[in-house]
Amino acid sequence: MNARGTLGRYGEELAARRLVQVGMTVLVRNWRAGRAGEIDIVARDGDALVVCEVKTRRAVAFQHPMAALTPAKAERLRELAQRWLHEHGGAPPGGVRIDLVGVLVPARGRPVIEHARGVV
């Protein structure tokens, strides 16, 4: 795995831990829908299903991770959420939410993790 892939996996691990810390249940990580793409984390938050996109950046990167959710990426996440629902029996009583977790990894010190709920 290359350095970018390693950084991404590290960020996803930190994001999954954070979601569990705030009371969510991680159902699956890196769920693939063929050529349509991948959902980084699918979780439950009470009776809601959460599709979570994780963006990880080094502190010296040009763009903050929370700024990386483009309109095209948001639309793809909505489509992937629909595929998940179709394959797993429909929406739960609490509906579906799309969250974004941004992980900023500094050269020294602890990573900074931001969780934005319902971004799409």
Give the angle subtended at the CA of 49 by the CAs of 6 and 104, to the nearest 5°: 30
pLDDT tens digits for range 27-54 = 999 999 988 899 999 999 999 999 999 9
Is the CB of residue 39 less than 8 Å from the CB of residue 52?
A: yes
pTM over 0.85: yes
Q: What is the mean pLDDT of the chain?
A: 91
pLDDT tens digits for range 67-119 = 888 889 999 999 999 999 999 999 999 999 999 999 999 989 999 999 999 98
Q: How many domains does the chain have?
A: 1
pLDDT tens digits for range 52-74 = 999 998 877 667 777 888 889 99
Is the CB of residue 26 less than 8 Å from the CB of residue 43?
A: yes
For residue 53, give its domain range. Answer: 3-116
Residue 35 C-alpha from the chain's centroid: 18
